[in-house]
Amino acid sequence: FFLRAVGDSMNDARISGKTIDDGDFVLIKKQQTANPGNRVVALIGDEATIKKLVPEDGHVRLQPESTNPKNKPILLFDDFSIQGVVSDVIKKGK
């Protein structure tokens, strides 16, 4: 499935050589598990976010990959689910 990226929290990530910029379409491979380092769509409550999955001792860190220092990691201890893994980016206007 596709999601449209909103914001700049992943504008420094490289997926097939392309960054994820505001307005781009992101192709997601639907699955409920992911490997460390995968860029995932995580559902937290009723909001979805795309971040790098970093398992840590006792929790998970969803790490932004951004040139904007205002984007901070999200630490999760429970109550989230993985909806899929990023597989490609379709640049807006292309």
Please identify every residue annotated as catalytic: 9, 51
Helix or strand run (H / E) with residue 49: strand 47-56
Rounded Cα–Cα distance for residues 36 and 7 (Å): 23
Contacts of 25 (CB under 8 A, 6+ apart): 2, 3, 4, 5, 89, 90, 92
Strand partners of residue 85:
29, 40
DSSP-derived secondary structure letter, 77: S
